Structure 1
Amino acid sequence: MPHAIGRRTVLATLPLAALPARAEDAFPSRPITIVNAYGAGGQTDIATRLTADRLTAAIGQRVLVENRVGGATSIASTYVAQARPDGYTLLAGTSSLAINPTLQPRLTPRDPQTELAPIGMVYRGAFVFHIYPGIPATTLAEFIAYAKANPGKLNYGGVVGTVVHLATEMLCQRAGIEMTAVPNRGGAEGLLDLQAGRIHCNFQSPVEALPSLQEGKTRALAISSRQRLANLPDVPTVAETLSGFEAVLWMALFAPAATPAPIINRVTNALRTVTDNSEYQDRMARIGLSAETGGANHVRTLLAEDTANWRKVITEAGIQTN
């Protein structure tokens, strides 16, 4: 009799395609948003939008960029950490995720290593250490010797708590020199201060530093990455003078912590297609960045190592924020 057919029997006879799919099986079925903690038009924003554009083609859905600026990048990272873990809200996470837990522990997420799920690497960006031409030094070793002979008399610039600021503190610690920090509001202001001699040295992105170097308004002494830069091949790395030194700004994609593994893997593979592309790599190089391929484990290791490294620098320097 018809009414005797049980619900379980009816379901069992349905074709597999008629059964509801899991969300991760259908991902992505609508646009994805990458949340960027930095202002529109800056180097990080340009790189994020370039990546989103290429990711759109690689993943088969439109990838948008949303800027959520403020709170030392915590507004953006908190927003993503608390978002629905469905893969549609991602974070363009940077080195600040390794710095904030020590420097500004009240900010959220307090532990990015557990509150966010890494997806894959996007880039690393080195800095140029350049000086005011009035300083009598043409090499990093000569600069260190001059600083030791004039303890506390040299100033350096940078936004408090950024990689630029902490890189200079690490340089002071490794070289055994004393310099005074003169906080500023960013790269453009720091460059003007350096050219005018109000500060004596600065780590700066290559894009910001190159015009000044070409005009002879500042002098490059070293590169903060472990490899020399293609567009400044004659400038040695800091590590060539101070072994093991490295201070770079990196960016990777993250998702909320509970995002299912199949979704993470889907975005990771699409991102790998983007970062492995030679045209994308060339475009990134033009804005002073080095595209880097690496999956979730690579990002997880980098975040843990960078967190420990910057914790040591911050603690030894006694750096505090208001």
Structure 2
Amino acid sequence: MPIRRRAAFAAPLALLPAAARAQEGFPGRPISVLSGYAPGGVTDITSRGVAERMGRELGVPVVVENRAGAATAVANTAVAQARPDGYTLLMGTSTLAINPGLQPTLTPKEPLRELAPVGMVFRTAFVLHVHPAVPASSTAELIAWCRVNPGKLNFGSSGTGAVNHLAQALFAQAAGIEVTHVPYKGGAPALLDLRAGRIQAMFQAVLEALPSLRDGATRGLGISSAERAALLPDLPPVADALPGFDVVFWQGLFAPAGTPAPVLARLGTALSAATEDRDLRARMAEHGVVITTGDAAALHQTLATETTMWGKLIRDAGIRPD
């Protein structure tokens, strides 16, 4: 009789769908996190730090795979089309909000529907800095100078449609000024020309701008985020001159749409543990990165808000990819 009872209770477990049984044991093998950027940059360094900390929490290796190309669409597409089991994730960035408006043929065409948010990872601001020959020592003075000299300020960026280009376009729109956009293939060549005076202004990631600011080759006027940057605490937000201005490059963790809720919850818990880790936060702060604790809802809201914001700006300013 006891044997029959055990068999009767075991039968329903055996009949559970394979997907349900897999969820119960998640994670049972290494997890891949795809990044749309090449190794070595701030995005990659942060991805690896977060992945390593998540791995300790989950008890399996969490491995970052760099798949650069097509404005991060190579990595984005691979994850959007992956099996929704939690073993293939994406370190998505601001490009997910930009690509639908700038390059609508890239996939995923609707990231809000094709990806499932897990949680926020980081925000990093841009420095508005200028060549010393520019007669402005504050954001307000730069705006005033541009109003008197329309189109004369050559404003560099790391490429058409890059976040620092859109920051410049939003800045000009909000201030009601006309500037000349000069796109480069990356931030390094743009910085060289800024230091040489061949362009006069640029929004640039804090860590990239620091050496030029410290040796006096450029002058910092403001920070693009609503809050001050830890590495440049004396630099006021651009929002002091343009209320509401808040532009950052962000990164968040995503899974394919359709990933089971229990799996997303487990990943979210591990991500939260990683982003709250004091040692990781301190290490990333040295790179000008503000590790951000934010759940799936916060990431979804960020993506939704910026998709609308950048889409409107791209249409209004007539921005087209090179």
TM-score band (shorter)?
Answer: over 0.9
Q: Which runs of 5+ in 2 are unaligned?
A: none
Cα distance per residue 1:266-293 (max 9 Å; x no partner): 0000100111111111111111110111
Query: For residue 241 of structure 1, what is the aligned residue in structure 2?
Result: 241
Q: Report matched runs for 1:153-232 at 5 Å.
A: 153-158=152-157, 159-232=159-232
1-structure distance, mates of 2:34, 2:194 = 33
Is the Cα contact below 8 Å between 2:67 and 2:75 reproduced in 1?
A: yes
Matching residue of 2:25:
26
Using structure 1 for the length normalisation, give the TM-score. 0.95
Large movers: runs of 4+ above 2 Å? 8-11, 13-21
Residue 10 of structure 1 and its aligned partner are, at CA, apart by 8.2
Distance 2:9 2:139 in 1: 76
For residues 42-72 of structure 1, give each alpha carbon's deviation from its aligned partner in whole angstroms, at most 9, with x where no partner exists: 1101111111111111111100010111111
Match of 1:96 in 2: 95
Q: Is the 8 A contact 2:228 2:236 kept in 1?
A: yes
Question: Match of 1:54?
Answer: 53
**2:36 aligned with 1:37:** yes
Give, as a single letter, the amino acid of the residue that structure 1 aligns with 2:220.
Answer: A
Which SS does the other structure have where 1:127 is aligned?
strand
Cα offset, 1:93, TM superposition = 0.3
Moved more, 87-96 or 183-192: 183-192
Q: Distance in 1 between matches of 2:81 and 2:231?
A: 41
Name the residue aligned to 1:278: 278
Q: Which residue number in structure 1 is paired with residue 308 of structure 2?
A: 308
Distance 1:80 1:24 in 2: 19
- What residue in structure 1 maps to residue 10 of structure 2? 14
Give the partner amino acid of 2:32: T
Q: Which moved more, 1:52-61 or 1:246-255?
A: 52-61
Measured in 1, the distance between the counterparts of 2:247 and 2:62 equals: 30
Give the drift of 1:235.
0.8
Q: Secondary structure at the match of 2:166?
A: helix
Report the counterpart of residue 295 of structure 1 in structure 2: 295
Structure 1 Cα separation of the partners of residues 213 and 25 of structure 2: 51
Query: Which residue identity does 2:154 align to in structure 1?
Result: N
Please give the per-residue CA displacement for 1:229-282, whole angstroms capped at 9, x wherever unaligned. 122111110101100001100000000001000000000001001111111111
Return the offset for 1:14.
3.2
For residues 19 and 176 of structure 1, the distance between their equivalents in structure 2, rounded to whole angstroms, comes to 65
SS at match of 2:72: helix
Q: Which moved more, 1:52-61 or 1:89-98?
A: 52-61
Three-state SS of the structure 2 residue aligned to 1:101 is helix
Matched-pair contact (CA < 8 Å) for 2:121–2:252: yes
SS of 2:255's equivalent in the other structure is strand
Match of 2:75 in 1: 76
Other-structure match for 1:64: 63
Secondary structure of the residue aligned to 1:293 is: strand
The DSSP-based 3-state class of the residue aligned with 1:198 is coil
Q: What's the TM-score once normalised by structure 2's chain length?
A: 0.95
Letter matched to residue 143 of structure 2:
I
Report the number of matched residues: 316
Question: C-alpha separation between the residues in 2 aligned to 1:14 and 1:118?
Answer: 36
Q: Per-residue deviation at 1:41?
A: 0.5
